[in-house]
Each structure stands twice: as C-alpha cells, then as structure tokens.
Amino acid sequence: MYDAAMQKEVLQGTSPDARITYEDLCRMPYDGLRHEIIDGVHYVSPSPGVRHQQLTLRLAFEIELYLRQHPGSGHVFFAPLDVVFTQWDVVEPDVLFVAADQPHVMTMANIQGAPALIVEVVSPGTRKRDEHVKRQLFDRGGVREYWIVDPKHQSVAVFRRSGDQAFPRVEELTRARRDVLTTPLFSGFALALADLFA
C-alpha cells in the first residue's frame, strides 16, 4: 500500500542534485490529483471544480471545432497529459495545442517539448503558480502562446512570443468589455468571452 513514508522516499528524488525528476514522478501511484514538477519542485493540485471543468471543456471544444474545419492544422489535448520540457520540468496543462509543424513533440505517452499553445484555468490555489512560475517556464521552454483564463474575473490574459523571442502579455480580455479571443495560431478563430463565460 502506498503511504506517506513511501511518498517521502519517492519525493526525495533520484537525481544527484536532489531535485525531483520525471522518473520520480512516474513512480508515484495515481491518486486522482495533478502532480507537476517545475525546476524539480513538486506541486500537487486537487481535482478541479465544476466551473473549471466547464471552461476547460468549452475551450478544448472550440479549438477542436476549428481544427475539424481546418484539417492539418494540428492537435488539441486536455489534462491529464504530461508535457515534458526537461527531466525537472513536467506539467499537465488544462488545454494544449500542438501545431502541424511540431509532430516531433508528440509521443504515445506524452508531449516532449513546448506545445504551440498552453491554456491554464486559474483557481485560488494555482493562481500564483499559473501567473508566475508556469509563465516563466513556458517562456524559457519556447511556448508560442499562453492563455490564463480567470473564472473569477471572467478574463483571459494572453502571452505571445514576439519576433525578438520575448514573451510579453499582449492582451487582457474581459467579458465585461465584450472582448473576443483571437490568435494568429488559428486564422479566423474568434471566441467571444460572453460565450466562454456563459
């Protein structure tokens, strides 16, 4: 039986610098929680709530609908699916998109490298991690675009890779302003925040 002592042993890590690795993560039994490591630090999140799941499903559905109308554009996935940036950086984004020019990052087990788009729906327990720690990881990891969806404020913050490889926040969209989410990743894609947060 998997107990606290076994978890402590697993989380002590096998790498020489004592950071947790993907190998350590894979040794942990499935417990229904989201386990991620960023720079070898272990983060655990509880199962998402109903509103979180509604927003995740809507976003994945809208992207999938677009991809069906534009075959060959890429693939959309949703959690749980590991995205392995390095052996010390493994996350499970709520939604992710792998573009057509990135087939090399897809394996049967996980995504090995930076997807074109990552989407996280924040919750009170993950807000700081999503806005800071993960954004920094996605910046250095080469993600092209990152959406932070905020159910409380009914907003979407968009970070986008620029020509000089910077990763700035380029938009802060809100339902209150009747904004529409678009992206150069999906030509012609438009999602009204009123529909997303309905």
Question: Is 90 exceeded by the pLDDT of residue 148?
Answer: yes
Question: Is 90 exceeded by the pLDDT of residue 179?
Answer: yes
pTM (two decimals): 0.90
* Nearest-angstrom CA–CA distance, 162 and 134: 18
Confidence grade of residue 117 (pLDDT, cut at 50, 70, 90): very high
Residue corresponding to tokens 């932070």: 148
Cβ–Cβ contacts within 10 Å for residue 180, how many? 14
Pick the CATH number of 48-196 from 3.40.50.720, 3.90.1570.10, 3.30.70.1290, 3.40.50.12280: 3.90.1570.10
pLDDT at position 41 is 96
Domain ranges of the chain: 4-43, 48-196
Mean of pLDDT over the chain:
92
pLDDT at position 16 is 57
pLDDT at position 174 is 98
Confidence grade of residue 7 (pLDDT, cut at 50, 70, 90): very low
Q: What is the mean pLDDT of residues 32-45?
A: 94
Confidence grade of residue 125 (pLDDT, cut at 50, 70, 90): confident
